[in-house]
Chains A and B, each alone.
Chain A
Amino acid sequence: NAGVTQTPKFRILKIGQSMTLQCTQDMNHNYMYWYRQDPGMGLKLIYYSVGAGITDKGEVPNGYNVSRSTTEDFPLRLELAAPSQTSVYFCASSYSGTGMTEAFFGQGTRLTVV
Chain B
Amino acid sequence: LAKTTQPISMDSYEGQEVNITCSHNNIATNDYITWYQQFPSQGPRFIIQGYKTKVTNEVASLFIPADRKSSTLSLPRVSLSDTAVYYCPPGSARQLTFGSGTQLTVLP
Distance in Å from the Cβ of A4 to the closest Cβ of chain B? 8
Interface size on B, residues (CB 8 A): 27
Distance in Å from the Cβ of A103 to the closest Cβ of chain B? 6
A102 pairs with B101, CB closer than 8 A: no
**A96: chain B residues within 8 A (beta carbon):** 93-94
Bound Cα distance from A105 to B98, whole angstroms: 13
Distance in Å from the Cβ of B24 to the closest Cβ of chain A? 13
Interface residues in A32-58 (C-beta closer than 8 Å to B):
33, 35, 41-43, 45, 48, 50, 56, 58
Bound Cα distance from A106 to B97, whole angstroms: 16
**A59: chain B residues within 8 A (beta carbon):** 97
B96 pairs with A105, CB closer than 8 A: no
Distance in Å from the Cβ of A93 to the closest Cβ of chain B? 10
